[in-house]
Amino acid sequence: MNKRTFIKLSSVMLAAPVVSPLFAWMSGDKMSGDKLKNWAGNLEYSTESLYSANSLEQARDFVKKQSRLKVLGTRHCFNNIADSTQDFLSLKPMDKVVALNPEARTVTVEAGMSYGQLCPYLDSKGFALHNLASLPHISIAGACSTGTHGSGVKNGNLATAVSGLEMVTAAGDVVVLSREKDGGTFRGAVVGLGALGVITKITLNIQPTFMMRQYVYESLPLSQLKDHFEEIEASAYSVSLFTDWQKQRVNEVWIKSRVEAGKAFDATPEFFGAKLATRNLHPIADLSAENCTEQLGVPGAWYERLPHFRMGFTPSAGKELQSEYFVPRQHAMEAILAVEQLRDQVSPHLMISEIRAIAADDLWMSPCYKQPCVTIHFTWKQDWPAVSKLLPVIETELAPFKARPHWGKLFTTSPAQLKSIYEKLPEFIQLSKEYDPRGKFHNEFLNTNIFS
Protein backbone atom coordinates (compact mmCIF):
# COMPACT_ATOMS: atom_id res chain seq x y z
CA MET A 1 0.00 0.00 0.00
CA ASN A 2 1.35 3.43 -0.87
CA LYS A 3 -1.13 5.74 0.78
CA ARG A 4 -0.45 9.46 1.09
CA THR A 5 -1.40 10.25 4.61
CA PHE A 6 -0.41 13.88 5.27
CA ILE A 7 -0.21 13.84 8.99
CA LYS A 8 -0.09 17.16 10.79
CA LEU A 9 1.86 16.51 13.95
CA SER A 10 0.62 17.49 17.34
CA SER A 11 0.92 21.16 18.24
CA VAL A 12 1.58 20.02 21.82
CA MET A 13 4.91 18.60 20.65
CA LEU A 14 5.84 21.79 18.84
CA ALA A 15 5.05 23.83 21.93
CA ALA A 16 7.73 21.99 23.95
CA PRO A 17 10.07 24.50 25.66
CA VAL A 18 13.16 23.91 23.54
CA VAL A 19 11.37 23.93 20.24
CA SER A 20 9.02 26.87 20.56
CA PRO A 21 11.48 29.82 20.34
CA LEU A 22 13.13 28.16 17.38
CA PHE A 23 9.78 27.55 15.77
CA ALA A 24 8.81 31.15 16.40
CA TRP A 25 11.58 32.58 14.28
CA MET A 26 11.57 29.76 11.80
CA SER A 27 7.87 30.07 11.02
CA GLY A 28 7.32 33.73 11.80
CA ASP A 29 10.61 34.65 10.19
CA LYS A 30 12.49 35.49 13.38
CA MET A 31 11.69 37.51 16.45
CA SER A 32 12.66 41.15 16.08
CA GLY A 33 15.95 42.12 17.68
CA ASP A 34 17.24 38.53 17.78
CA LYS A 35 20.39 37.82 15.88
CA LEU A 36 20.18 34.62 13.90
CA LYS A 37 22.55 32.15 15.61
CA ASN A 38 23.14 28.43 15.68
CA TRP A 39 21.69 26.33 18.50
CA ALA A 40 24.76 26.57 20.74
CA GLY A 41 25.01 30.33 20.18
CA ASN A 42 28.69 30.13 19.22
CA LEU A 43 28.01 31.17 15.62
CA GLU A 44 26.16 34.28 14.48
CA TYR A 45 25.06 33.62 10.91
CA SER A 46 26.20 36.08 8.25
CA THR A 47 22.70 37.08 7.19
CA GLU A 48 19.35 37.38 8.87
CA SER A 49 17.43 37.06 5.66
CA LEU A 50 15.35 33.93 6.15
CA TYR A 51 12.53 32.71 3.95
CA SER A 52 10.23 29.87 5.04
CA ALA A 53 8.77 27.65 2.33
CA ASN A 54 5.50 25.87 2.85
CA SER A 55 5.51 23.75 -0.27
CA LEU A 56 7.70 22.31 -2.99
CA GLU A 57 6.50 25.07 -5.34
CA GLN A 58 7.46 27.82 -2.89
CA ALA A 59 10.89 26.24 -2.42
CA ARG A 60 11.38 26.00 -6.20
CA ASP A 61 10.32 29.61 -6.78
CA PHE A 62 12.68 30.84 -4.09
CA VAL A 63 15.63 28.83 -5.42
CA LYS A 64 15.01 30.05 -8.98
CA LYS A 65 15.02 33.70 -7.85
CA GLN A 66 18.15 33.61 -5.68
CA SER A 67 21.74 33.78 -6.91
CA ARG A 68 23.00 32.23 -3.64
CA LEU A 69 21.30 30.58 -0.68
CA LYS A 70 21.65 27.95 2.00
CA VAL A 71 19.02 25.74 3.58
CA LEU A 72 18.90 26.07 7.33
CA GLY A 73 17.80 22.97 9.25
CA THR A 74 17.48 23.03 13.03
CA ARG A 75 20.84 24.91 13.36
CA HIS A 76 22.55 22.25 15.48
CA CYS A 77 25.90 22.35 13.65
CA PHE A 78 28.74 24.02 15.49
CA ASN A 79 30.67 25.25 12.46
CA ASN A 80 29.64 27.41 9.50
CA ILE A 81 28.52 24.55 7.22
CA ALA A 82 24.99 25.99 7.12
CA ASP A 83 25.99 29.66 6.96
CA SER A 84 24.94 32.04 4.19
CA THR A 85 25.93 35.61 3.42
CA GLN A 86 22.83 36.20 1.29
CA ASP A 87 19.71 34.20 2.05
CA PHE A 88 18.45 31.27 4.08
CA LEU A 89 15.65 28.96 3.14
CA SER A 90 13.88 27.17 5.97
CA LEU A 91 11.63 24.20 5.31
CA LYS A 92 10.44 24.13 8.90
CA PRO A 93 6.75 24.42 7.91
CA MET A 94 7.21 21.38 5.65
CA ASP A 95 7.08 18.86 8.48
CA LYS A 96 4.49 16.29 7.47
CA VAL A 97 4.56 12.56 6.87
CA VAL A 98 3.88 12.08 3.17
CA ALA A 99 3.54 8.29 2.99
CA LEU A 100 3.98 5.27 5.17
CA ASN A 101 4.47 2.10 3.17
CA PRO A 102 4.30 -0.92 5.50
CA GLU A 103 4.98 -3.43 2.70
CA ALA A 104 8.10 -1.69 1.43
CA ARG A 105 8.96 -0.74 5.04
CA THR A 106 9.57 2.89 4.20
CA VAL A 107 8.31 6.24 5.38
CA THR A 108 8.50 9.38 3.25
CA VAL A 109 8.58 12.72 5.04
CA GLU A 110 8.87 16.37 4.16
CA ALA A 111 12.39 17.60 4.74
CA GLY A 112 11.59 20.09 7.50
CA MET A 113 10.61 17.32 9.88
CA SER A 114 12.71 16.49 12.93
CA TYR A 115 13.29 13.04 14.41
CA GLY A 116 11.41 14.22 17.51
CA GLN A 117 8.33 14.74 15.34
CA LEU A 118 8.65 11.58 13.26
CA CYS A 119 9.49 8.97 15.91
CA PRO A 120 6.28 8.98 18.01
CA TYR A 121 4.25 8.84 14.79
CA LEU A 122 6.25 5.87 13.49
CA ASP A 123 5.99 4.08 16.82
CA SER A 124 2.22 4.61 16.91
CA LYS A 125 2.03 2.86 13.54
CA GLY A 126 4.15 -0.06 14.77
CA PHE A 127 7.47 0.99 13.21
CA ALA A 128 10.93 2.18 14.20
CA LEU A 129 14.14 3.58 12.75
CA HIS A 130 17.34 1.59 13.12
CA ASN A 131 19.13 4.28 15.12
CA LEU A 132 19.07 7.84 16.43
CA ALA A 133 21.60 10.48 17.45
CA SER A 134 22.07 11.59 21.05
CA LEU A 135 19.19 14.04 20.64
CA PRO A 136 15.86 13.90 18.75
CA HIS A 137 15.60 17.68 18.20
CA ILE A 138 17.49 17.75 14.87
CA SER A 139 16.03 17.87 11.37
CA ILE A 140 16.19 14.63 9.41
CA ALA A 141 17.53 16.40 6.31
CA GLY A 142 20.25 18.30 8.20
CA ALA A 143 21.31 15.21 10.12
CA CYS A 144 21.56 13.00 7.03
CA SER A 145 23.29 15.74 5.03
CA THR A 146 26.11 15.84 7.59
CA GLY A 147 26.52 12.10 8.30
CA THR A 148 25.07 12.32 11.81
CA HIS A 149 25.32 9.06 13.72
CA GLY A 150 24.32 7.21 16.85
CA SER A 151 26.13 4.15 18.13
CA GLY A 152 26.29 0.39 17.61
CA VAL A 153 28.87 -1.83 15.94
CA LYS A 154 26.26 -3.03 13.45
CA ASN A 155 24.43 0.29 13.03
CA GLY A 156 25.24 2.58 10.13
CA ASN A 157 24.84 6.33 10.59
CA LEU A 158 21.39 7.92 10.24
CA ALA A 159 21.92 8.59 6.52
CA THR A 160 22.17 4.84 5.86
CA ALA A 161 18.41 4.63 6.47
CA VAL A 162 17.76 6.92 3.49
CA SER A 163 16.39 5.06 0.49
CA GLY A 164 15.09 8.01 -1.52
CA LEU A 165 15.38 11.78 -1.88
CA GLU A 166 13.49 14.55 -3.63
CA MET A 167 15.70 17.57 -4.26
CA VAL A 168 15.41 20.98 -5.92
CA THR A 169 18.50 21.76 -7.98
CA ALA A 170 20.04 25.22 -8.50
CA ALA A 171 17.93 25.66 -11.66
CA GLY A 172 14.77 24.95 -9.68
CA ASP A 173 14.29 21.52 -11.24
CA VAL A 174 13.02 18.64 -9.13
CA VAL A 175 15.22 15.54 -9.02
CA VAL A 176 14.07 12.27 -7.46
CA LEU A 177 16.79 9.79 -6.50
CA SER A 178 16.51 6.29 -5.09
CA ARG A 179 18.99 3.79 -3.75
CA GLU A 180 17.54 1.14 -6.06
CA LYS A 181 17.70 3.07 -9.32
CA ASP A 182 20.36 5.74 -9.02
CA GLY A 183 23.51 3.95 -7.85
CA GLY A 184 26.49 6.27 -7.55
CA THR A 185 24.44 9.46 -7.89
CA PHE A 186 22.30 8.45 -4.95
CA ARG A 187 25.30 7.41 -2.83
CA GLY A 188 26.89 10.77 -3.57
CA ALA A 189 23.78 12.80 -2.79
CA VAL A 190 22.68 11.43 0.60
CA VAL A 191 25.48 12.94 2.71
CA GLY A 192 25.34 16.01 0.48
CA LEU A 193 26.68 18.63 2.94
CA GLY A 194 24.02 21.03 1.65
CA ALA A 195 26.04 21.38 -1.56
CA LEU A 196 23.80 19.75 -4.15
CA GLY A 197 20.36 21.27 -3.73
CA VAL A 198 17.38 21.68 -1.44
CA ILE A 199 16.17 18.32 -0.16
CA THR A 200 12.39 18.55 0.01
CA LYS A 201 11.41 14.94 0.78
CA ILE A 202 13.26 12.00 2.28
CA THR A 203 12.32 8.32 2.27
CA LEU A 204 13.69 6.27 5.16
CA ASN A 205 13.84 2.53 5.73
CA ILE A 206 11.85 1.45 8.77
CA GLN A 207 11.48 -1.77 10.74
CA PRO A 208 8.94 -3.16 13.23
CA THR A 209 8.88 -1.19 16.45
CA PHE A 210 10.91 -2.50 19.37
CA MET A 211 11.41 -1.84 23.05
CA MET A 212 14.72 -1.09 24.71
CA ARG A 213 16.32 -0.96 28.13
CA GLN A 214 19.12 1.39 29.05
CA TYR A 215 21.69 0.65 31.75
CA VAL A 216 24.56 2.84 32.88
CA TYR A 217 27.75 1.55 34.48
CA GLU A 218 30.19 3.80 36.34
CA SER A 219 33.99 3.78 36.40
CA LEU A 220 35.19 1.35 33.76
CA PRO A 221 38.96 0.90 34.23
CA LEU A 222 40.95 1.97 31.16
CA SER A 223 42.92 -1.29 31.46
CA GLN A 224 39.69 -3.24 30.92
CA LEU A 225 38.82 -1.11 27.90
CA LYS A 226 42.29 -1.78 26.45
CA ASP A 227 41.87 -5.53 26.77
CA HIS A 228 38.18 -5.83 25.87
CA PHE A 229 37.34 -2.91 23.59
CA GLU A 230 35.58 -4.94 20.88
CA GLU A 231 33.68 -7.01 23.43
CA ILE A 232 32.50 -3.92 25.32
CA GLU A 233 31.38 -2.09 22.17
CA ALA A 234 29.58 -5.19 20.91
CA SER A 235 27.94 -6.00 24.25
CA ALA A 236 24.60 -4.43 23.25
CA TYR A 237 22.71 -2.84 20.35
CA SER A 238 24.17 0.59 21.13
CA VAL A 239 27.01 1.43 23.52
CA SER A 240 28.43 4.85 24.47
CA LEU A 241 31.48 5.46 26.61
CA PHE A 242 31.72 8.82 28.39
CA THR A 243 35.07 9.90 29.77
CA ASP A 244 36.78 13.02 31.10
CA TRP A 245 40.13 11.24 30.44
CA GLN A 246 40.97 11.44 34.15
CA LYS A 247 41.99 8.69 36.58
CA GLN A 248 42.60 6.03 33.92
CA ARG A 249 38.90 5.23 33.65
CA VAL A 250 35.77 5.72 31.57
CA ASN A 251 33.29 7.61 33.77
CA GLU A 252 30.07 6.13 32.37
CA VAL A 253 29.18 3.28 30.00
CA TRP A 254 25.70 3.67 28.51
CA ILE A 255 24.29 0.37 27.29
CA LYS A 256 21.15 0.39 25.16
CA SER A 257 19.76 -3.08 24.66
CA ARG A 258 16.82 -4.26 22.58
CA VAL A 259 14.21 -6.20 24.54
CA GLU A 260 14.34 -9.38 22.46
CA ALA A 261 14.19 -13.01 23.49
CA GLY A 262 17.69 -14.45 23.75
CA LYS A 263 19.41 -11.17 22.84
CA ALA A 264 18.79 -8.93 25.84
CA PHE A 265 21.76 -7.55 27.76
CA ASP A 266 22.30 -9.31 31.09
CA ALA A 267 22.71 -6.40 33.51
CA THR A 268 25.00 -7.94 36.08
CA PRO A 269 26.08 -5.64 38.97
CA GLU A 270 29.58 -5.47 37.47
CA PHE A 271 30.63 -5.01 33.85
CA PHE A 272 34.36 -5.34 33.14
CA GLY A 273 35.07 -3.81 36.55
CA ALA A 274 32.48 -1.00 36.18
CA LYS A 275 29.57 -0.78 38.64
CA LEU A 276 25.89 -0.71 37.70
CA ALA A 277 24.47 2.76 38.46
CA THR A 278 21.57 2.90 40.88
CA ARG A 279 20.21 6.27 39.77
CA ASN A 280 19.69 8.03 36.43
CA LEU A 281 22.80 9.92 35.30
CA HIS A 282 23.66 12.74 32.88
CA PRO A 283 26.80 12.16 30.78
CA ILE A 284 28.16 15.35 32.39
CA ALA A 285 28.05 14.22 36.01
CA ASP A 286 27.25 17.67 37.44
CA LEU A 287 24.12 18.15 35.33
CA SER A 288 20.63 16.95 36.17
CA ALA A 289 19.56 13.63 34.67
CA GLU A 290 16.06 15.08 34.23
CA ASN A 291 17.02 15.97 30.64
CA CYS A 292 18.12 12.39 29.91
CA THR A 293 16.24 9.36 28.69
CA GLU A 294 15.21 6.81 31.31
CA GLN A 295 17.89 4.39 32.50
CA LEU A 296 17.99 1.69 35.25
CA GLY A 297 16.74 -0.95 32.81
CA VAL A 298 13.20 0.46 32.62
CA PRO A 299 11.75 -0.77 29.31
CA GLY A 300 10.67 1.92 26.88
CA ALA A 301 10.05 2.60 23.20
CA TRP A 302 13.15 2.66 20.95
CA TYR A 303 12.88 6.43 20.42
CA GLU A 304 12.86 7.07 24.17
CA ARG A 305 16.03 5.06 24.78
CA LEU A 306 18.27 5.41 21.69
CA PRO A 307 18.87 9.18 22.20
CA HIS A 308 20.58 10.21 25.43
CA PHE A 309 18.44 13.35 25.71
CA ARG A 310 14.68 13.79 25.86
CA MET A 311 12.61 15.84 23.46
CA GLY A 312 11.29 18.95 25.17
CA PHE A 313 14.42 19.34 27.30
CA THR A 314 17.78 20.96 26.54
CA PRO A 315 20.12 18.28 25.22
CA SER A 316 23.73 18.12 26.40
CA ALA A 317 24.80 21.31 28.25
CA GLY A 318 23.57 24.05 25.89
CA LYS A 319 26.38 26.59 26.07
CA GLU A 320 29.12 24.39 24.61
CA LEU A 321 31.21 23.55 21.58
CA GLN A 322 31.61 20.12 19.99
CA SER A 323 34.27 18.33 17.91
CA GLU A 324 34.37 14.70 16.84
CA TYR A 325 36.73 12.45 14.89
CA PHE A 326 35.99 9.16 13.11
CA VAL A 327 38.82 6.63 13.31
CA PRO A 328 38.86 3.27 11.48
CA ARG A 329 37.74 0.71 14.05
CA GLN A 330 40.94 -1.35 13.84
CA HIS A 331 42.84 1.63 15.30
CA ALA A 332 40.28 2.36 18.02
CA MET A 333 42.39 1.66 21.09
CA GLU A 334 45.56 3.24 19.67
CA ALA A 335 43.59 6.39 18.91
CA ILE A 336 41.87 6.44 22.31
CA LEU A 337 45.23 6.06 24.07
CA ALA A 338 46.76 8.79 21.91
CA VAL A 339 44.04 11.19 23.10
CA GLU A 340 44.35 9.96 26.67
CA GLN A 341 48.01 11.06 26.60
CA LEU A 342 46.74 14.61 26.03
CA ARG A 343 44.50 14.54 29.12
CA ASP A 344 46.26 17.40 30.92
CA GLN A 345 45.86 19.67 27.89
CA VAL A 346 42.32 18.54 27.11
CA SER A 347 40.75 18.42 30.56
CA PRO A 348 40.67 22.13 31.49
CA HIS A 349 38.51 22.86 28.42
CA LEU A 350 36.41 19.72 28.36
CA MET A 351 32.91 19.02 29.64
CA ILE A 352 32.91 15.37 28.52
CA SER A 353 34.09 13.05 25.75
CA GLU A 354 32.07 10.26 24.19
CA ILE A 355 33.31 7.19 22.31
CA ARG A 356 30.93 5.33 19.99
CA ALA A 357 31.07 2.67 17.25
CA ILE A 358 29.47 3.01 13.80
CA ALA A 359 29.18 0.48 10.98
CA ALA A 360 30.74 1.09 7.55
CA ASP A 361 28.59 2.41 4.69
CA ASP A 362 28.84 3.26 1.00
CA LEU A 363 27.84 6.94 1.04
CA TRP A 364 30.58 8.97 -0.64
CA MET A 365 30.97 11.79 1.86
CA SER A 366 30.14 9.76 4.95
CA PRO A 367 32.99 9.65 7.47
CA CYS A 368 32.27 5.89 7.65
CA TYR A 369 32.64 5.38 3.88
CA LYS A 370 33.93 1.81 3.51
CA GLN A 371 35.27 1.72 7.06
CA PRO A 372 33.72 0.62 10.35
CA CYS A 373 34.55 3.46 12.72
CA VAL A 374 34.94 4.47 16.27
CA THR A 375 34.23 8.12 17.05
CA ILE A 376 36.00 10.20 19.65
CA HIS A 377 33.82 13.16 20.56
CA PHE A 378 34.53 16.23 22.69
CA THR A 379 31.95 18.48 24.32
CA TRP A 380 33.98 21.61 25.08
CA LYS A 381 33.41 24.61 27.28
CA GLN A 382 32.49 27.52 25.05
CA ASP A 383 36.00 28.99 24.74
CA TRP A 384 36.87 28.94 21.04
CA PRO A 385 40.29 30.62 21.40
CA ALA A 386 41.41 27.77 23.70
CA VAL A 387 39.65 24.99 21.77
CA SER A 388 40.97 26.21 18.43
CA LYS A 389 44.53 25.79 19.77
CA LEU A 390 43.81 22.29 21.06
CA LEU A 391 42.15 20.86 17.96
CA PRO A 392 45.33 20.82 15.84
CA VAL A 393 47.11 18.98 18.69
CA ILE A 394 44.41 16.31 18.78
CA GLU A 395 44.25 16.15 14.98
CA THR A 396 48.03 15.61 14.78
CA GLU A 397 47.73 12.66 17.18
CA LEU A 398 44.85 11.19 15.15
CA ALA A 399 46.34 11.90 11.70
CA PRO A 400 48.22 8.57 11.46
CA PHE A 401 44.81 6.85 11.62
CA LYS A 402 43.39 9.03 8.82
CA ALA A 403 40.78 10.40 11.23
CA ARG A 404 37.88 12.14 9.54
CA PRO A 405 36.24 15.08 11.35
CA HIS A 406 32.46 15.29 11.84
CA TRP A 407 31.10 17.59 9.12
CA GLY A 408 28.84 19.46 11.55
CA LYS A 409 31.30 20.02 14.39
CA LEU A 410 34.40 22.16 14.89
CA PHE A 411 37.65 21.04 13.29
CA THR A 412 40.87 22.50 11.88
CA THR A 413 41.79 19.62 9.56
CA SER A 414 43.24 21.18 6.40
CA PRO A 415 41.41 20.99 3.05
CA ALA A 416 44.43 19.08 1.68
CA GLN A 417 44.09 16.49 4.44
CA LEU A 418 40.34 16.21 3.81
CA LYS A 419 41.05 15.56 0.14
CA SER A 420 43.46 12.78 1.01
CA ILE A 421 40.99 11.01 3.30
CA TYR A 422 37.85 11.29 1.15
CA GLU A 423 38.55 9.19 -1.92
CA LYS A 424 35.19 10.06 -3.49
CA LEU A 425 35.69 13.82 -3.19
CA PRO A 426 36.43 14.32 -6.93
CA GLU A 427 33.23 12.47 -7.88
CA PHE A 428 31.28 14.47 -5.30
CA ILE A 429 32.57 17.74 -6.78
CA GLN A 430 31.59 16.51 -10.24
CA LEU A 431 28.11 15.60 -9.01
CA SER A 432 27.68 19.02 -7.41
CA LYS A 433 28.57 20.65 -10.75
CA GLU A 434 25.73 18.75 -12.41
CA TYR A 435 23.14 20.00 -9.94
CA ASP A 436 24.65 23.38 -9.14
CA PRO A 437 27.02 24.49 -11.95
CA ARG A 438 27.40 28.08 -10.67
CA GLY A 439 27.79 27.35 -6.96
CA LYS A 440 24.42 28.70 -5.83
CA PHE A 441 24.59 26.49 -2.72
CA HIS A 442 28.26 27.14 -1.99
CA ASN A 443 29.34 29.03 1.13
CA GLU A 444 32.60 29.70 2.89
CA PHE A 445 32.66 26.26 4.54
CA LEU A 446 32.19 24.44 1.24
CA ASN A 447 34.52 26.74 -0.69
CA THR A 448 37.28 26.10 1.85
CA ASN A 449 36.83 22.42 2.62
CA ILE A 450 35.38 20.94 -0.56
CA PHE A 451 35.80 23.22 -3.55
CA SER A 452 39.14 24.90 -2.82
> Which residues are near ligand FAD by CB under 6 A?
39-40, 70-77, 81-82, 91, 111, 133-135, 138-139, 141-143, 145-146, 148-149, 193-194, 198-199, 315-316, 406, 408
**Shortest spacing between CB 303 and ligand FAD, in angstroms:** 14
Q: Phi first, then psi: what are they for 13, rounded to 5°?
A: -65, -40
Which residues lie closer than 8 Å to 274 by C-beta, 6 or more apart? 217, 218, 219, 220, 221, 224, 250, 253
Q: Which of 115, 79, 23 is nearest to 309 (CA)?
A: 115
**Shortest spacing between CB 450 and ligand FAD, in angstroms:** 11
Q: Which of 220, 235, 229, 231 is nearest to 334 (CA)?
A: 229
Comparing CB distances to ligand FAD, the nearer of 244 and 320 is 320
Comparing CB distances to ligand FAD, the nearer of 111 and 281 is 111
Comparing CB distances to ligand FAD, the nearer of 288 and 341 is 288
Which residues lie closer than 8 Å to 14 by C-beta, 6 or more apart? 20, 23, 117
**Shortest spacing between CB 367 and ligand FAD, in angstroms:** 9
**Parallel, antiparallel, or unpaired for β 238-243 and 350-358?**
antiparallel
Comparing CB distances to ligand FAD, the nearer of 213 and 406 is 406
Comparing CB distances to ligand FAD, the nearer of 158 and 346 is 158
Angle, nearest 10°, between helix axes 222-233 and 332-340? 150
Residue 221 DSSP code = E
**Shortest spacing between CB 449 and ligand FAD, in angstroms:** 11
**Shortest spacing between CB 31 and ligand FAD, in angstroms:** 18
CB atoms < 10 A from the CB of 28, how many?
10
**Shortest spacing between CB 75 and ligand FAD, in angstroms:** 5
Structural contact between residues 168 and 56, judged by C-beta atoms closer than 8 angstroms:
yes
Comparing CB distances to ligand FAD, the nearer of 148 and 449 is 148
Comparing CB distances to ligand FAD, the nearer of 221 and 439 is 439
**Shortest spacing between CB 227 and ligand FAD, in angstroms:** 27
Q: Which of 174, 184, 25 is nearest to 111 (CA)?
A: 174
